């Protein structure tokens, strides 16, 4: 009998006779969770809007985004309110998807200066590389609005692609009166016109103000005077001042 212990393969060690099983792919997407409520809403929207429903994104148990054709923008509001019970109008606004740094204008000039380049050598505003987020998109400007059903406890965010050269959409006021103020703001800040709006005039700025301040390529004078983020803007967090005063002084010897 030998004193030398016999080595035996452990269960964790693969052998020629029994190859190790393949590990599951780490990036495999988990199966989608059911959400009968929002799935039903999406089906009804698809039935009512037909080809007017372009794309959707459903987050189970959380939210629903729907992108509709511009020609179906007002019809989508009517279906949401009268057929789906979304009687609460939350907000209406817009997005300028022009990507940074091309859309930051003054900031991009500062980027070029920092990198040692001649800021006058390029004036590119090429919008290539736009990423539209959930429910997709095809244009620089998108309109979006959110409505909710107080009784069913869900909401829908609608999106619509706008003509970049002349962004225009039908007003939602006949369906949701609360859209009045929001459409005026989108008109003022993004330059979006709303067909049928009875009082489309500025909210915040003088009547003769030129330009639309929330467009990405709107020139910001403050950025030219003091590049962002100006170091003087960096303020200590609450408590940091006291901590610095209480810290022992360094030995100067």
Q: Is the pLDDT of residue 113 over 50?
A: yes
Q: What is the band of 246 on the pLDDT scale with cuts at 50, 70, 90? A: low
Q: Is the pLDDT of residue 95 over 70?
A: yes
The residue with tokens 């067909």 is: 195
- pLDDT value of position 217: 80
14 versus 196: which is more confidently predicted? 196
Distances (CA, A) of 187 to 129, 193, 209: 26, 6, 13
- pLDDT (average), residues 197-225: 84
- pLDDT (average), residues 76-95: 97
Q: What is the band of 202 on the pLDDT scale with cuts at 50, 70, 90? A: very high
Which range (56-60, 129-133, 218-222) has the least confidence?
Answer: 218-222
């Amino acid at each position: 009998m030998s004193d030398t212990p016999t080595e035996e393969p452990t269960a964790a060690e693969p052998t020629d006779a029994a190859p190790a099983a393949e590990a599951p792919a780490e990036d495999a997407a988990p199966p989608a969770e059911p959400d009968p409520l929002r799935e039903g809403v999406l089906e009804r929207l698809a039935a009512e809007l037909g080809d007017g429903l372009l794309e959707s994104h459903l987050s189970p148990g959380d939210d629903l985004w729907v992108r509709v054709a511009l020609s179906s923008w007002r019809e989508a509001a009517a279906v949401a309110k009268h057929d789906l019970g979304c009687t609460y109008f939350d907000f209406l606004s817009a997005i300028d998807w022009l990507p940074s740094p091309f859309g930051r204008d003054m900031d991009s000039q500062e980027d070029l200066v920092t990198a040692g380049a001649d800021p006058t050598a390029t004036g590119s505003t090429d919008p290539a590389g736009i990423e539209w987020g959930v429910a997709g998109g095809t244009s620089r400007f998108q309109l979006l609005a959110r409505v909710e059903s107080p009784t069913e406890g869900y909401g829908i965010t609608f999106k619509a692609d706008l003509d970049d050269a002349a962004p225009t959409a039908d007003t939602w006021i006949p369906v949701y009166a609360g859209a009045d103020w929001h459409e005026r703001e989108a008109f003022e800040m993004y330059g979006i016109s709303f067909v049928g709006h009875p009082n489309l005039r500025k909210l915040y700025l003088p009547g003769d103000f030129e330009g639309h301040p929330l467009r990405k390529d709107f020139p910001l004078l403050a950025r030219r005077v003091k590049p962002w983020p100006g170091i003087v803007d960096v303020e200590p967090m609450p408590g940091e001042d006291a901590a610095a005063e209480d810290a022992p002084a360094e030995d100067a010897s």
